[in-house]
Structure 1
Amino acid sequence: MQYKDYYKMLGVARDASQEQIKRAYRKLARKYHPDVSKEPNAEVRFKEINEANEVLRDPQKRSAYDALGSNWRAGDDFRPPPGADAYRDFNFNSGQAGDFSDFFSSIFGRAFGGEGREAKRQRGGDHSIKLTISLEDAFQGATRQIKVEVPEHGAQGQPSQRSKTLNVRIPAGVTQGRQIRLTGQGSPGRHSGPAGDLYLEIDLEPHAHFTPEGKDIQLRLPIAPWEAALGATIRVPTLGGSVSVKVPSGSQSGKKLRLKGRGLPGSPAGDEIVVLEIVAPPANTETAREFYRQMAEKLAFNPRAHLGI
C-alpha cells in the first residue's frame, strides 16, 4: 500500500493552521465537486481531498497522522508502524467514509469497528412493543410509566438486554393499532452511531359498552317496544357523559343513530354510532302474560310476513 500525503493533497504546509486547512479544503471542494467540475479526474480528486480534510481538520486525528512520521512520501510503500493501533479509536462522521482509501483504513480502521472502512457508525435497532390502555385513556389522554427491555450489544459485542423505565404521554384520540414513536429509545448505536427508536403500538382494552371502529365508537342501545313504536327521548351514554337522544317513532332493531363528534377526539373527531335493539319485557307474571295475549288478539301483526309465511 502507498503512503498518502494529506498535506500535499490539500496543498498546504505541514505546519498549516486549521484556518488555512479549512480554506484550502473549501477551495478544492468547489473546484472538484463532481456535480459542477469539468475536470476529468474530479470524482477521484474530490474523494482524496475529503479524506485528507477528514484527518487534518481535527487536531487529535491530525496529531495521530503526524505521529507516523514526516519522512514518508506520496507513492512510497507503507506499512503501519508498531503501535499504530493506538490511533484507531476515533469516530469519523463524514458521509464519504465508505470511499476512504486502504491507507486510511490501515491507520484509523477501528473507527469503523476494527474491520477497516467497511464497518461504519451504525444506527441502533428500532423496537416495537404493545401498550394496552383503556378506551377512556384513549379519549382523555393519559400518562403511563412503562418498563421495557431493549436489546443491545455488550462491551465485547455479545447480545444483552437493558431494562429502563419511561414516562410516556398518550395523546387524546389514539386509535387501535396506532404507533407512538419514542425517538432514541431503541437499541444504542454502535461505534458512536445514533440510537434507534422505540414504537409503542396501542392496544385498546375491550370495553363493557363501546366498540371502537377507528375514531368512531359503536354502542348497542336496548329500547322498550313502546319507545320504538311511539318514539321517545332517552338518555344515552357517551365517553364524555350521557346525552339526550330522540328515538324516532316506528324504529326497528338495527336502526342506527349517529351522534356527531361523540367518538374519539381529533380533527375531525369521530362519531358515536348508536344501534337500537328492541327488548321485549319478560312474561314472568300473570299480568304480563295477559297483556301479551291481548296484544296477540288485537294487533294484526305478522313479523314473518316478508318471508311469505
Structure 2
Amino acid sequence: MAVEYKDYYKLLGVERSASADQISRAYKKLARQYHPDLNPGNKQAEEKFKEINEAYEVLKDPEKRRLYDQLGPNWQHGQNFQGAPGFENMHFSFNGQGFDGAGFSDFFETLFGGARSARGGRNNAGFGADPFGGFSARPRRGRDVEAELSLSLEDVARGGKRSVTIQTTGGPKTLEVNVPAGIREGAKLRLAGQGGDMPGGTPGDLFLRVRYLPHAHFRVDGDNLQSDIWLAPWEAVLGARVPVRTLDGEVELTIPPGTSSGRKFRLRGKGLGSAAARGDLLARVMIRVPEQINETERALWERLAESSSFSARQHRS
C-alpha cells in the first residue's frame, strides 16, 4: 500500500523557513483549538490533534527536522531509515489513550521507524522497541479509573484549580485539578498516575468526566446560556431599565417600549467557552401580572381596557 507524504509545515501552517519559536507558537495555538477536552466526541478534531502532534514531534527537534527536510516529497526514493535517534521508545497520551507508534501515521512510522514485531506488524503485546534492535518489556500498569467531576456554571466560566476528593482502597484522597475555563460537559480531565495501583509496576491514570450542575437561573445550549427576564405589564409597554443576572454579576439591560413576551435579548460574551471565544446569554422576556389587585387598581385596569384600541389576538403582519 502506498504511503502518502505528509507536509508537516502545512499541517502547522508555517513556512519551511520558520524558526523554532514560530513552530512552537503555531503548534500551541492549534493544540488549544483541537484539544480533545474542548472537542469531546469530535472525531475530526481528534484526527487533527494527532496530526499536529505528529508534525510537532518532528519539526521541534533539529536533527529530525533536518532528516525530514532532506527527503521531502521524494522521501521514498531517499535513504532507508530504520528509526531516527530518540524515536525508539516514544509514547504519548491522547485523550486518555496511549499511542506507541500506532498513534502516528504510516508515513511517520515508515520514515522514522516504530514499534514493530519481527513479522513486520505493529507490536501490540505491551513491549517497547529497544534502541539496540530488540524488544524490552515495559513495566506493568495499573488500570485507569474514571470518576465524575460536578461543576457549577460559575466554576465552568471561571476555570482554575479545584480540589477533588476520591475514595481509594487506602481511604479518601484529595487531589488538585486545573479546570480549563469554558470546558464542555462530558469532557475528560486526566490526572496521570492517580488511577489503580500496580504492585511492581506503574499506577494507572484517573479521568474526571465533567458534569454541569443544574442552575436556578440559566439553561445551557452549547456555549450559549438562556435565562428569563420578568417584566410588569407597564414595563413592557412603556420600556424600562432592568437588572439581568449573568455568571459575571448583574448588568443593566434597556427594554424598549412595546416589548412583547417571548422577545429575546442577546448579551454577547456572557455565556460559556474560552476567553477568546465565549458564547452569549440569551435573555427572554416574560411578562408577569399581579395575582391580586385592590379596588383602585381594578378601576384603573378597567378604565384602560375600555379606552384602549389594542387587541392581543389581532393578527400582526
Letter in 2 for 1:134: S
**Deviations 1:158-201 (Å, cap 9, x if unpaired)?**
xx777533122333323332322212222235763x43321112
Structure 1: stretches of 5+ with no match in the other structure: 1-29, 37-42, 47-91, 102-110, 113-119, 151-159
Q: Is the 8 A contact 1:121 1:189 kept in 2?
A: no
Using the size of structure 2 for normalisation, the TM-score is 0.53
Report the CA distance shift for 1:122/1:282 in structure 2 as closer, same or farther (over 3 A): same
Write the mapping of 1:97-108 to structure 2, written as runs, cut at 5 A. Answer: none
Write the mapping of 1:71-86 to structure 2, written as runs, cut at 5 A. Answer: none
Question: 2:237 aligns to what?
Answer: 229
Q: Distance in 1 between matches of 2:228 and 2:149?
A: 27
Q: Distance in 2 between matches of 1:240 and 1:209?
A: 13
Question: 1:124 aligns to what?
Answer: 142
Question: 1:271 aligns to what?
Answer: 280
2:294 to 274, 285, 288: 285
Q: Give the match's secondary structure for 1:237.
A: strand
Letter in 2 for 1:244: E
Report the CA distance shift for 1:161/1:100 in structure 2 as closer, same or farther (over 3 A): farther
Q: Give the match's secondary structure for 1:236.
A: strand
Letter in 2 for 1:284: I
Cα deviation for residue 207 of structure 1 reads 1.8
Q: Is the 8 A contact 1:125 1:196 kept in 2?
A: yes
Q: Distance in 2 between matches of 1:215 and 1:133?
A: 15
Letter in 1 for 2:282: I
Q: Give the match's secondary structure for 2:219.
A: strand
Alignment coverage as a number of residue pairs: 200
Cα deviation for residue 219 of structure 1 reads 1.3
Letter in 1 for 2:252: S
The structure whose Rg is larger is 1
Cα deviation for residue 231 of structure 1 reads 2.3
Q: Distance in 1 between matches of 2:300 and 2:215?
A: 37
The answer as to 2:189 corresponding to 1:180 is yes
Write the mapping of 1:147-166 to structure 2, written as runs, cut at 5 A. Answer: 147-149=165-167, 163-166=172-175
**Deviations 1:188-217 (Å, cap 9, x if unpaired)?**
35763x433211122222222122223222
Sequence identity of aligned pairs in percent? Answer: 35
Q: Give the match's secondary structure for 1:295.
A: helix
2:207 to 194, 199, 216: 199
